[in-house]
Amino acid sequence: MEKQEGKEYIREIIENGKKEIEAGNREYIDYKIDSKALATLVFTSGTTSKSKIVMLSQYNIARNISDMQCVEDFRSTDVNLAFLPYHHTFGSTGQLIMLSSGITTAFPDGLRYIAQNLKEYNVTFFVGVPILIEKIYEKIEEQIVKEKKTTLIKISKVFTNLLLKFGIDVRRKVYKKIIDGLGGLRFVISGAAGLDKRVEKGLNDFRNTYSSRVWTNRNSSSTLCRKLQI
C-alpha cells in the first residue's frame, strides 16, 4: 500500500511505542486497568431478534481477541475486507482482531463490487454475515449456469469427493477458475446467524487446502464456533 503524507499507520505507532519503552518510558506498562469496568457500549446485529445494547469490558474484548487468535492463523500480511458496521459487536470485535494482529483492512466500494474488490485489494479473508456469503455463492452458481457447466460441475463433485476418500485432493485443479474468482481468500468468518446448509456444502465441495475456510456461528454475534472448509 502506498504511504500517504500526513497519515499515521498502525505499524508506525507500534514501532514508536517500542522505542519509547526501550528509552525507559513505563507509562504504558505501569498503567492500571480495571479489566471488568465498562469499556464500550455496542449493539447486537438484530439478525435473529431485536437489536440490543451490549455492555463490554476490556476483559470481554481482550478475551474474544485472544480466543480467536488461538484458533485461527491470523497473519500481519493478511488483508481484510470490512463489511460490518463497527457499532455492532460482531463488526467491532472483528476489527479489533485485525488491529491487534497487524492486519490491513480495505473497505468495499459497495456490495455490487465485492467480487471486484476481492481481487483488486488481494483480500485474504473477511468477516461477514450469512446473507453476504450466500450472495457470493449465488454469483458462483450464476456463472456456472451462464457457462452451461451445471452438469459438468455436478459430475466433478462426485468425482473429487470420491477421490478425497482415498486421500487424493484434485479440487484446486478441477475448480481453479472458481477458486481464482474468489481472489486470494484463505478463509471467511461467518456469524450473527446460521449459514444456509446448501451454501455450506457447496463451498465445502469447492474447498482446497490452499484456498479458503469458513467459520460459521449459529448462536450469537459474540461467539464464533463451527469451522467449515471451502
Each residue's pLDDT tens digit, 151-167: 777 788 887 877 878 87
Phi, psi of 12, deg, nearest 5:
-70, -40
**Predicted local confidence at residue 47, as pLDDT:** 65
Residue 160 CA to residue 83 CA, distance in Å, equals: 33
State the pTM of this model: 0.67
Q: Which three cell numbers stand for residue 205?
A: 465441495
> By the 8 A CB rule, do 84 and 111 touch?
no
- Identify the top-confidence range among 20-29, 103-112, 127-136, 141-150: 20-29
Q: How confident is the model at residue 222 (pLDDT cuts 50, 70, 90)?
A: very low
> By the 8 A CB rule, do 216 and 228 touch?
yes
Stretch 41-66: mean pLDDT: 83
Q: Which three cell numbers stand for residue 91?
A: 463488526
Neighbouring CB atoms inside 10 A of 169's CB total 15
Q: Which residues contact 113 (CB under 8 A, 6 or more apart)?
A: none
**Distance between alpha carbon 16 and the CA centroid of its chain, in Å?**
29
Q: How confident is the model at residue 48 (pLDDT cuts 50, 70, 90)?
A: low
Which CATH number applies to 71-229: 3.40.309.10, 3.40.50.12780, 3.10.300.10, 3.20.20.70? 3.40.50.12780
191 pLDDT exceeds 80?
A: no
Stretch 109-135: mean pLDDT: 83
Does 211 or 2 have the greater pLDDT score?
A: 2
Q: Which three cell numbers stand for residue 66?
A: 485472544
Q: Which three cell numbers stand for residue 82?
A: 470490512
Angle at 179 between CA 225 and CA 208, to 5 degrees: 55
Of 3-7, 69-73, 176-180, 192-196, give the lowest mean pLDDT range: 176-180
Q: Which amino acid is at 126?
A: F
Residue 210 CA to residue 226 CA, distance in Å, equals: 19
From the number of C-beta atoms within 10 Å of its C-beta (0-12, 13-18, 19+), residue 135 rates as middle
Angle at 134 between CA 60 and CA 187, to 5 degrees: 55
Of 96-100, 114-118, 122-126, 141-145, give the lowest mean pLDDT range: 141-145
Q: Is 168 helix (H, G, I), strand (E, B) or coil?
A: coil
**Predicted local confidence at residue 72, as pLDDT:** 83
Q: How confident is the model at residue 135 (pLDDT cuts 50, 70, 90)?
A: confident
